[in-house]
Amino acid sequence: MFARVSFCLIVLALGSVAQAEEVRVAVAANFALPLKVLAADFERDSGHKMLVSVGSTGKFYAQIKGGAPFDVFLAADDETPARLEKEGDAVAGSRFTYATGKLVLWSANANLVDGQGRVLVTGNFKHLALASPSLAPYGAAAVQTLSRLGLLTTLTPRFVQGESIGQAYNFVATGNAELGFVALSQVYENGKISKGSGWIVPAHLHNPLRQDAVLLARASHNPGASALLAFLKTDKTRSVIRSFGYDTE
């Protein structure tokens, strides 16, 4: 009897392993840290394995169109996933907003950026970092902000552009730029900007940073990919996402 029960348990265990899937995720750089935190819970709870690539939304779009083997796309906007869905590269009806981001003018210098962003006017800096507006929605939001403040023409010569918001953050963190526009999630901890100095850009100065997730067409029958999208909608996951300074629906 014991041997029979043991054999059944082994069969069940093998069956669980056989059903586990690898989920290849393309994630916008601003969400890399939250996803790293969430990955451990997802893998433990689901048994699936997450393989993550980090980059800019625009570059991932080009890679997906070129046949890159991603299963799930976590973009930094809602337009790119919608475009992929319309073009048949993503599963219709799978798209949803997993987070709404916030833009921050940030410096590693604790005394440089004031709470109103007046440093942009006083001009006490040589370099202003931002992500490429053609590739990264946070970069586009930075340009919109400067345009609405009437400062775009004046400050464009000081731009230091990174391909992604991750690179823009690195420019500022390493001191190659005195300040720059980054994602709040990159500098947020325990309910506040945790290091340096920053100004959370008012939402009316740029288009909403609604970030959509979508199931890509190649993964339409991948249970691990579907499980990840369901996981992102849970209350527990949304609580973690909010802890990084995002809003969730």
pLDDT in tens, 64-113: 999 999 999 999 999 999 999 999 999 999 999 999 999 999 999 999 99
pLDDT in tens, 162-186: 999 999 999 999 999 999 999 999 9
pLDDT for position 88: 97
Whether the per-residue pLDDT at 17 is higher than 50: the answer is no
Whether the per-residue pLDDT at 1 is higher than 80: the answer is no
pTM confidence score: 0.89
The residue written with tokens 């202003």 in the block is 128
Whether the per-residue pLDDT at 13 is higher than 50: the answer is no
**Using alpha carbons only, what angle is made at residue 169 by residues 168 and 174, rounded to the nearest 5 degrees?**
105
pLDDT in tens, 231-241: 999 999 999 99
Mean pLDDT of 193-213: 96
Residue 217 · residue 227 · CB < 8 Å? no
Residue 34 · residue 184 · CB < 8 Å? no
Spell out the residues 6+ positions from residue 91 whose beta carbon is closer than 8 angstroms to its own.
85, 214, 215, 216, 217, 219, 220
pLDDT > 70: what percent of the chain?
92
The Cα 26–Cα 121 span in angstroms is 37
Mean pLDDT of 112-137: 95
Whether the per-residue pLDDT at 4 is higher than 80: the answer is no
pLDDT for position 190: 86
pLDDT for position 180: 98
Mean pLDDT of 2-27: 58
Confidence band of 7 (pLDDT split at 50, 70, 90) = very low
Domains of the chain: 2-100+210-242 (3.40.190.10), 103-200 (3.40.190.10)
Confidence band of 194 (pLDDT split at 50, 70, 90) = confident
Residue 166 · residue 183 · CB < 8 Å? no
pLDDT for position 12: 40
pLDDT for position 8: 42
Q: Which tokens in the block code for residue 26?
A: 């393309």
Residue 165 · residue 183 · CB < 8 Å? yes
pLDDT for position 213: 98
Give the chain as a DSSP string: -HHHHHHHHHHHHHHHHHH--EEEEEEEGGGHHHHHHHHHHHHHHH--EEEEEEE-HHHHHHHHHTT---SEEE-SSSHHHHHHHHTTSB-TT--EEEEEE-EEEEESSTTTS-TT-THHHH---S-EEEE-TTT-HHHHHHHHHHHHTT-HHHHGGGEEEESSHHHHHHHHHTTSSSEEEEEGGGTEETTEE-SSEEEEPPGGGS--EEEEEEEBGGGTT-HHHHHHHHHHTSHHHHHHHHTTT-B--
The Cα 109–Cα 111 span in angstroms is 5
Which amino acid is residue 6, in one-letter code? S
pLDDT for position 249: 81
Q: Which residue has the higher pLDDT, 195 or 211?
A: 211
The Cα 197–Cα 211 span in angstroms is 25
